[in-house]
Copies of this chain bind each other. A is one copy, B any other.
Amino acid sequence: MRKSSDPIHMDIKEGKQKFIESWGKMASDWGINRTMAQVHALLLIAAEPMTADQVMSELDISRGNSNMNIRALMDWGLVHKQLRTGERKEYFYAEKDMWVVVRQIILNRKKRELEPMLKVLDEIAGVENNCPESESFCAVIRDIRKFSGKANQTLDALVKADVAWLGNPLFSLLR
C-alpha cells in the first residue's frame, strides 16, 4: 500500500513527454521554433541515434518538418549525423553535454543577434551631437553600446574558457 507521504513517481513515457513539451515551451518563449526544440529534446533523451522517420512518427509531425528541423539543429551544431555501414538511412544524435550545448547556443545567438546589434549601435553612435535633444539620445546609445560590448566580451570569455580548460582536470569540477 502507498502512503500519501510517498513521492509520486511518474512513469518514463510520461516524463519524456513532459520534458519534450517543456523544452519546446521554453524555446518558443525565447524566440526559437518550438518543433525544432522538441526534436532536440527527443534526441537529447534518446538512448540511441534516431532516423528522421522515427522522429517524425515519435513527435507526430510531417516528414518535411522532421527533415527541416533536423537540418536546422545540425546548422546550430547541436545534432550530428551518424552513417552506418550497410544501411541507407541516416541516423541523428544530439550532443548531450549541457555545457557544450549551452556554449553552442551562445555562439549561435551571439553571432546572429548580438553582433549585428553592436554594428548598428556603432553606426548610430556616429550621429551628430550638437543640440540638447540629441544629447539624451547619444547618452543612451553610448550606455547601451558600452553594456552590449561588455556582454559580448563576457560571452567570448565564457566560450573560450571551455576550450582552454578542456584538458585541465580542474575544469571537471567547475562543470
Give A contacts to B, CB under 8 Å: 7-12, 14-16, 18-19, 22, 26, 28-32, 44-47, 96-99, 102, 112-113, 116-117, 120-121, 123-124, 126-128, 131-137, 139-141, 143-144, 146-147
Contacts and interface: CB of A to CB of B under 8 A. Distances in A.
Given A29-B112, A47-B137, 10 more contacts: A9-B128, A12-B131, A12-B134, A15-B124, A16-B137, A18-B120, A22-B121, A28-B31, A31-B32, A45-B137
6 contacts: A9-B127, A9-B128, A22-B117, A44-B140, A45-B141, A98-B147
Dominant secondary structure of chain A at its interface with chain B = helix
A10 B126 contact: yes
